[in-house]
Amino acid sequence: MKKLLITVVFCSLLLLAAGCGASHHTITRTDGSTIVSVGKPEFSKDSNTYTFENLDGEMTTLKREDVKEIRENKD
How does pLDDT run across 59-71, given as a tens digit for each residue?
999 999 999 999 9
Side-chain half-sphere exposure of 1, counting CA atoms within 13 A: 0
The rounded radius of gyration (Å) of the Cα atoms in the chain is 16
Max Cα–Cα distance, the chain, nearest Å: 54
Per DSSP, 6 falls in state: H
Q: pLDDT tens digits, residue range 32-69?
A: 999 999 999 999 999 999 999 999 999 999 999 999 99
The pTM (predicted TM-score) of the whole model is: 0.69
